[in-house]
Amino acid sequence: MSATSGSPQPGSLHGIRVVEMGQLIAGPFCGQLLGDFGADVIKIEPPGTGDALRQWGQPGYPLFWEVLGRNKRSVTANLRTEEGQALARQLIAGADILIENFRPGTLEQWGLSPEDLMAENPRLIIVRVSGYGQTGPYAGRAGFGGIGEAMGGWRRVVGDPDRPPARMGVSIGDSLAATFACLGALAALEARHRTGKGQIVDSSLYEAVLHVMESLVPDYAIGNFTRERSGSILPGVAPSNVYPTADGYYLIAANQDSVFRRLCGAMGQPDLAENPSYATHIARGNHQKELDEIIAAWTRTLTTDTLEHMMADAGVPAGRMYTPADMLADPQFKARQSLIEIDHPKWGKLPMQNAFPKLSGTPGGVRRPAPALPGQDNLAVYGADLGLSESELASLQQRGII
């Protein structure tokens, strides 16, 4: 793990200005992704409280913000006032991308409709993240990531079959919608190179989840098969499961024919690979439970360390269920700088995930920690960029506009 002092290479999006509005995860994660690759992200926060994400985390350690707020500058503006809206409009007039994740119609209520903003700035790309998208009968409904996960099909297939639907331990619906929003923004930037015009990117939570659900819908529509919760396995894909060891659990994924033969060799049971019940993908799927029991009986006799070395030597895809402590100690994470440390004025050496994916020529990076205070960059942005004087800024602050 390497430390950064806030001065990595500029990044692929150097020179692109992003204005980020909205709170919590979906919009801010999109802004973080763009900022990681060099965009100048100016986040507009409510005066005083700032983004609610600043309060998220374990008691005494609100660290969500430190990741999603990195590589951003913070200004404050009360967007429910005409003066706050005017400040936002001036910032957006000089921006390349606007990100917002309010309920559809909110921008329009504030006099910041896409039509008006793009009339002033025809090159503007407006990224809109919402629960159900900007159109359709559900567009006006409130939507959080968990609702998108449920509607998009994710929640129904996660968990054990004899228990209610479960969730992942992270806000995957928000993160997926943000990632697709970022993809849309980059596609719109490329289109702007040809047309000179911006456009609207409409990313909904439920469609982002739907997009990663593989053949869920055609499985039902064509094959009359509805996927259900299956615990730690995928039905018909074997062996691929979490198996007990003498001191824990270990994941082995040997469902391809050639890989399964290598696993059988490592087990000292090469005949399993020739057994008609297990010799093919279909056969292994039909006998999944009994095959898992055979493998589990073997893995129970080995420590996790021993099993890991055996699987690596045999060329069988396998791995531990990593904790943060495992990640911080692992040589692969270190070799690829998957985790970095940033110099933070409050937390000292603060570890977090690096920019991703890796680019060979114009890599991303963490250039600055998340702003410590809402409006930390009011003077730099409103003063230097918009030309407001210190007295004007003081007046705006006294009246609760910033």
Residues 273 and 260: their CA atoms lie apart, in Å, by 7
Residues 163 and 229: their CA atoms lie apart, in Å, by 9
CA distances to 104, 107, 211, 236 from 208, in Å:
17, 22, 5, 26
Residues 153 and 205: their CA atoms lie apart, in Å, by 11
- Name the token pair of 392: 């004007």
Which of 36, 40, 51, 174 is an active site residue?
Answer: 174
Q: Which helix (H) or strand (E) holds 73?
A: strand 72-76
Instruction: With CA atoms as reference, report the closest residue to 124 among 112, 111, 132.
Output: 112
User: Any catalytic annotation for residue 174?
Assistant: yes
**Beta bridge pairs of residue 349:** 343
DSSP states of 213-240 as a string? STTHHHHHHTT-------TTSBTTB-SE
Q: Where are the beta strands (DSSP E) in 101-163?
A: 125-130
Residues 130 and 177: their CA atoms lie apart, in Å, by 8
Residues 377 and 393: their CA atoms lie apart, in Å, by 12
Could you give the residue numbers annotated as active site?
A: 174
